[in-house]
Structure 1
Amino acid sequence: MNRSCYYCGSVNKVKNGKTYYGKARGKCKDCRRQFVFHRQNRSLSPEQKRLIKLLLLERLSLEGICRVLAISAYHLYRYMDELYVEVPDDLNAQVSAQAELQLCCYECESDELWSFVGCKANKQWLWVAQDRRSRQIVALHLGDRGAAGARGLWENIPQQYRQQATFFTDNWEAYKQVIPAQRHRASKEKKDTNHAERLFCSLRQRCARLVRKALSFSKKLDRHLMAIMFFVANYNLSLLL
């Protein structure tokens, strides 16, 4: 027990039992923090990083990924942050100026896509703009389901689409406040937004954070958004293959 505290460097420490995995644990009497004696700094192998990229695209909890790969949550979160930083702003979508868009705002009352962060009272609505021909998602926005949410999506849509595309939406009132009337096609029929509904079905099945009744919900809004963007960017890439 001749090592100093990992956090403050103090040698004023005592033994403090063992961890869940049986490793000797100490406690600093100055900063009051606990640490493990003889801690090993293990980095992720290239194979583990490859598997993490694949498992993050499936409906598996973060704790489940840790169990499958026998890694700590600390290393998983650090590598996730590296992956999220690399997500491009254009979501890997190849913009076509002649394409039509299909937009849809989903409401929980009609059993459509919604999500929450922290608790179900903190609802976060996912707005998407999907190219009707290529099926690529060209923009998304996370926010409320009012005019502010529709405006946030409109601002994220590439300029080529905002100037030339025809927009097909459901009859949600918020769209009428941001989309030019001459290029807006609002309808109550599901056939006009069936591709967007099919997209949200894929999101439900493959993104654990969007599952309604599960313990895999997001605790922080920024991670919630980046996890969705990470999936969408890889989804767009898969459509190009």
Structure 2
Amino acid sequence: MPDHQTVMLRWKAGSEAARAALPPVELRYGSGAREVMDLFEAGPESPIAVFLHGGYWQALDRSWFSWIAPALVSRGVSVAIPSYDLAPSVRLGRILMQARDAVEAVRARTGARPVVFGHSAGGHMASAMLSEGRASAALAISGVFDLEPLIPTSLNVALGLDVSEARALSVTNWPVPDGSTPGGTTLDCWVGGEESPEFIRQSRDMAALWGARGVETRVEVVAGADHFTVLDPLADAGSGMVRRIVEIPHAT
């Protein structure tokens, strides 16, 4: 299986090719230098799915992920990919505020709540947007939902989480989406079969927790995929992951 540096170089090359073949519209959602998103349009009336990238809230930006857009655009779904500020220059709570602003900018543009999907840290943010009623549905790919296990790890050097903040920002402790509103109660948790046991546990536990409280949830284990190659199906218009994003409920 390729190492993550090789996979990321493939992301970068694929993104450059995607941007050349399908130039995005740049949309600003705030005044900050990174408060901007790329919109890859499938058509004027197409639904928009918002992708929130990973990097443990402390790395990468939208330019690494343009490659995910062509397959979805070919299936009639536009794709918005925002950048956001990174830790340690901002706190995680501020990054969540930027995710809200980006999703709300898309919602204002279309008049409908978008599907929000994301990888790793982006999976955390996607589920947060669903909890708050900003998304019509969420698909979290190798998401991090319970933040307390990060506290003793090296990842927390930049994040600076203590127990109180980690609990407050863990979507496992957030309200489930409001079932009285049409749509907005579907959460998919996809995870690589070769991920660490902790990633698999978090996806299974999140789906079980919200599923027990009335949310339509599912867990999909991508056989043979690790934390990086789990995104590979997004390049294939016929993959189950792309089909799910196309078919997952869209609501106003």
Normalised by the size of structure 2, how large is the TM-score? 0.28
Normalised by the size of structure 1, how large is the TM-score? 0.29
Bigger Rg over Cα: 1
